[in-house]
Amino acid sequence: MTKKMHITITVNGKEEEFLAEPRELLIYTLRERLNITGPHIGCDTSHCGACTVTLNGKSVKSCTMFVAQADGAEVETIEGIGGPDALHPLQVAFKEHHGLQCGFCTPGMITRATKLLEEIPNPTEEEIRFGMAGNICRCTGYQNIVKSIQAAAAEMSAAKEAAE
Amino acid sequence: MIPAGFEYHRPRDLEGVLALLDEHGDDARVMAGGHSLIPMMKLRMADVPHLIDLQAVDGLAGIEIGADEIRLGAMVTQTEIIGHAGLAEAAPILREAALQIADPQVRNMGTVGGNIANGDPGNDMPGLMQCLDARFTLVGSGGVREVAAREFYEAAYMTAREDEEVLTAVTIPRPAGGHAYEKQKRKIGDYATAAAAVQIAKEGRACASAAIAMTNLSDTPVFSEGAGAALVGTAVDAAALAAASEAMLGDIDPTEDNRGPVAFKRHVAGVILRRAIERAWSRA
């Protein structure tokens, strides 16, 4: 057993402090320690992206990061993006355009899509498919995920224009 | 999925890194983005009692575009390479290749230094760096030295870097002419079945210089001097392409795996090289 470290991370705006072995993967910190169970584990080779969260503003796969590396970081998960009473436009669009079936990839998909739409506010279909390529889905065949992201992009752009 | 325990270190300067490497020897490993090392640790294929995280070390970041040379700090991520306008102008092949590496999340973490130092023949940057005749800066407690990319790779996971050295930067002469990084892969995020890095300069109607390196077709990247030489002085016509391809096929030594048997890989290598040369030539 290696020495435990004192870790401080901010998850969805809330500061969390605890002792953990450095080898603890961030996905386990979120799911098992902090009970934030939206991000999922779909593989053990860093391919599927079901564990995607936003770390210091960037999309990362939380299965490929030790909690020790994330000490001091800010993390956002699907739970911080929106809840039942205030859904994010992407969450609304995934619902309306049938961008999910089993829902296992969805937290990672939507979390990644929030950053994609910051990087490219009005992406083409090709840019969406390429920008989401780190996230695997077994159910949808991706088509409706693309539609959902396109719909959310349109909605968010319209809202931004209205605000200006 | 579950890595073995380790002691974690996050030094703030290179002296701190070198002190840890000297103290722990073989028991210590540096980690950059972690997207090759952590997967290996999760499979228990890498045993790392002391993990030295480079994320807070000063002096390993940044892209500098000089008049003659480009310097990339070892901790520059693939995403930073893709997003850097000056780099896209000075050496566009880097962006073209980085966009074919892994996926957005991995590119946010994975670094150019890690890709180069890893020693996995599947990595794309090593062949690209050989094509560009880059030099790698290695720092150890005994001092600083530079090793040419074309001399760096010895075998799978074996490089000229000593265990107690850290790769801190990559220096690339500003490339001239047209470029292409052509990669055949089974899907997004896969290592290449075959890939070719080509940089070609033109003078009048003839090829003035050509550098060619191949990825994942031997236990190291392969810089094919003969393939480049076969193009120089020609109009890069069908005969020149055939000669370059033949020279390249003499230099590679692929092995069979689930990307295909040797004969298939040799066939794909020829196709990929031809496409890369044609695209680079069209841009020269």
Domains of chain A: 5-81 (3.10.20.30), 89-159 (1.10.150.120)
Are A58 and B79 within 8 A, CB to CB? yes
Per residue in B203-221, pLDDT (tens digit) is: 999 999 999 999 999 999 9
Residue from B262, B225, B263 nearest B244 by CA: B225
- The secondary element (H helix, E strand) that includes residue B32 is none
pLDDT at residue A1, as a whole number: 58
Give contacts of B47 with chain A, Cβ < 8 Å: none
Mean pLDDT of chain A: 97
Are A52 and B105 within 8 A, CB to CB? yes
Cα–Cα dist B227/B280, whole Å: 14
Q: Are strands A74-76 and A5-11 parallel, antiparallel or unpaired?
A: parallel
* Domain-ending residue, one of B140, B155, B173: B173
Mean pLDDT of chain B: 97
Q: What is the CA radius of gyration of chain A?
A: 16
Domain of residue B102: give its range.
63-173
Q: How distant is the Cα of A60 from the closest Cα of chain B, in angstroms?
A: 5
Residue from A91, A90, A10, A25 nearest A57 by CA: A10
Per residue in A121-152, pLDDT (tens digit) is: 999 999 999 999 999 999 999 999 999 999 99
Domain for residue B2, yes or no?
no
pTM of the model: 0.97
Give contacts of B39 with chain A, Cβ < 8 Å: 44-46, 64
Domain co-membership, B71 together with B169: yes
Question: Is A123 an interface residue toward B (CB < 8 Å)?
Answer: no
Per residue in B160-180, pLDDT (tens digit) is: 999 999 999 999 999 999 999
Give the ipTM of the model, two decimals please.
0.97
Domain co-membership, B186 together with B168: no
Domain for residue B58, yes or no?
no
Question: Is A47 an interface residue toward B (CB < 8 Å)?
Answer: yes
Domain for residue B122, yes or no?
yes
Contacts of A95 (CB under 8 A, 6+ apart): A87
Domain co-membership, B209 together with B251: yes
Per residue in B229-241, pLDDT (tens digit) is: 999 999 999 999 9
Using pLDDT thresholds of 50, 70 and 90, give the confidence band for residue A2.
confident
* Domain-ending residue, one of B140, B173, B206: B173
Domain for residue B1, yes or no?
no
Domain co-membership, B105 together with B47: no
Q: Domain containing B211 — which CATH number?
A: 3.30.390.50
Handedness of CA B97, B101, B104, B109 (dihedral sign): negative
Domain for residue B114, yes or no?
yes
pLDDT at residue A164, as a whole number: 85
Are B43 and A44 within 8 A, CB to CB? yes
Give contacts of A64 with chain B, Cβ < 8 Å: 34-35, 38-39, 106, 109
